[in-house]
Amino acid sequence: MADHPQNGAAPDKDRGAAFWDAKFAASDYVYGTRPNAFVADQSYRLNPGSRLLAVADGEGRNGVWLAAQGHKVTSIDFSPRALQKAAALALGRGVALRTVCADLLEWDWPADTYDAAAMTFLHLPPDHRRPVLAGIARTLKPAGLLLAEGFAPAQVGMPSGGPRDPALLYDPEVLADELAAVGLAVVQCAVEEVTLSEGRGHNGPAMVTRLVARKPEEKD
């Protein structure tokens, strides 16, 4: 996982796939190999053998962990180098992981396909974030879940990572409006103070927004 912007889509060419390939060029895992704590904590909501989408999954820490729990996982990212490392991590853990190399703003988001999506620290400008949320809403099955975590506005000035532009941060009220606009209902959303320990990329005290949202069930 990365920040400002997150791997998966970029607000400008300077932060495209080549930028993230360079960031992920080292042999170590920039954001570690353990799953995001919130995703792991909320995984109890997932039915056994769920079909899951790990959005902007970078080096695969969420996708590989979810696959190890018995789920059928697709990890999407637009950095080929990140996905190479994700595939290597999956191989080392002995789990199956499908990887897709694509820009989230251009991907077709297959309709009604996934039981849940996980998205952590994907920080995009609003005009990019909204279509990504719309894509997630499209690709979730009815009653499907979105598990998401990102830096909150109160993170500005803290040394543990994240963008400095407030528009890129996860404001709960803004998120609630954007989710409602694409047909996702907030199950829970709260700003929390946590201590991050995610590789060398995210470390130390942080203010994060933690979100669970659900797609409505089909009406008879």
* pLDDT tens track for 172-213: 999 999 999 999 999 999 999 998 877 667 767 999 999 999
Amino acid at 24: F
35-44, 165-174, 193-202: least confident range = 193-202
Q: Identify the CA nearest to 196 among candidates 77, 35, 48.
A: 35
pLDDT of residue 5: 38
Q: 116, 178, 189, 177: which is closest to 146 by C-alpha? A: 116
DSSP 46: S
**pLDDT at 120 exceeding the cut of 80:** yes
Q: Are 128 and 9 in contact (CB under 8 A)?
A: yes
Q: How confident is the model at residue 21 (pLDDT cuts 50, 70, 90)?
A: confident
pTM: 0.90
- Whether the pLDDT of residue 6 is over 60: the answer is no
Contact 36, 59 (CB under 8 A): no
pLDDT in tens, 98-112: 999 999 999 999 999
Sheet holding 72-77, edge to edge: 98-101, 72-77, 51-55, 114-120, 140-151, 202-214, 185-198
Determine the topology of domain 13-214 in CATH. Rossmann fold (3.40.50)
At 3 the pLDDT is 36
Instruction: Please answer whether residues 194 and 121 qualify as being in contact, where contact means their C-beta atoms are separated by less than 8 angstroms.
Output: no
Domain boundaries, the chain: 13-214
**Would you state the pLDDT for residue 220?**
53
Q: Where are the alpha helices (H) located in the chain, listed in sequence order?
A: 17-23, 37-42, 61-68, 80-93, 126-139, 172-181
